[in-house]
Amino acid sequence: MYSGPTRTFDRYWPTLRDFGLIGLGTLVQAVGLRIFLIPAELASGGVSGIAQLINYYTDWPIGLMVFIGNVPLFLVGWRFLGGSRFAMRTAFAIAALSFFTDAVLWLPFFPRNGLPNDLVLNSLYGAVVAGIGYGLVYRGNGTSGGSDILARILNHYRGIPITQSYLITDTAVILGAGFIFGWDKALYAIITLYVSGLVVDTTMEGAGTVRTALIVTSQPAEVAAKILSVMERGVTVLSGTGAYTGKERPVLYTVVTRSEVQLLKTIVHEADAQAFMVVGAAHEALGEGFQPFKKQ
């Protein structure tokens, strides 16, 4: 059987595509930071926000501090990043974002002092550009480190839901920004954080807080095992019957966060390329790994 360049390209294309999306996404994030957020002193959360606060007093390169701040988080959170493949993409994203954040300033035509001298425009445009960058990184099966890693660690060790973990980490940074940059800029940073989340959702082709997935596959045991071990997400096996064939077929049901959708697609496709999967949006998920139930 012929196994020439075309077959080799098909084999490596998914990996090349992922790293290409991550590289482009981190470049877009860096541009958003340098043109809109950093000149306007808008620290909207994450390690990059902490780096902005430190830079205010030390003038240390922000990109370098982003890298240094992410290294210990990455080492601690390696096991929570969805396996070695997902972790390597996250490592690449961290390195690329750190490099681009400082490297774009080397370009002779790059506006070092930003473009608009308006907090509203900076917060909105910064949120849109950075949100697109985050979304591209997520589509490449990676994360940008920082809050993503810390949220997974808090979820695993403390049982704090992923969404609540993001809120805790980003709120702490924004509070710090309020003391250093002023409370007016901290309030605009909250707007930036919210809008960027919406843009990430749009870039990832969805608008819900969480995603539900129904998977019809001829390899249910293999798919379920990978979701449980790689993603550490629960799976429910439902009984189903094909209306056309009349044959019984198990249906897998799982709930994931928006940044995990691409990884779920990859897992299902690799286990069963003929699988049928429906991904839907849910407004709220209550229970382990998500929002806790509250007494009314």
Q: Using 50, 70 and 90 to split pLDDT, how confident is the model at 251?
A: very high
The mean pLDDT value for 268-294 works out to 81
* pLDDT surpassing 80 at residue 285: no
The mean pLDDT value for 235-245 works out to 87
> What residues form DSSP beta bridges with 248?
241
State residue 207's pLDDT score.
47
| CATH, domain range 210-282 | 3.30.70.120
Q: Using 50, 70 and 90 to split pLDDT, how confident is the model at 111?
A: confident
Q: Using 50, 70 and 90 to split pLDDT, how confident is the model at 28?
A: very high
* pLDDT surpassing 70 at residue 3: no
Average pLDDT in the chain: 83
Q: Using 50, 70 and 90 to split pLDDT, how confident is the model at 5?
A: low
* Greater model confidence, 90 or 158: 90
State residue 209's pLDDT score.
65
Q: Using 50, 70 and 90 to split pLDDT, how confident is the model at 255?
A: very high
The mean pLDDT value for 18-44 works out to 91
Instruction: List pLDDT tens digits, range 139-167.
Output: 887 777 777 777 777 766 777 666 667 77
Domain boundaries, the chain: 5-203, 210-282
State residue 4's pLDDT score.
59
Token pair, residue 58, equals 């030390």
pTM of the model: 0.70
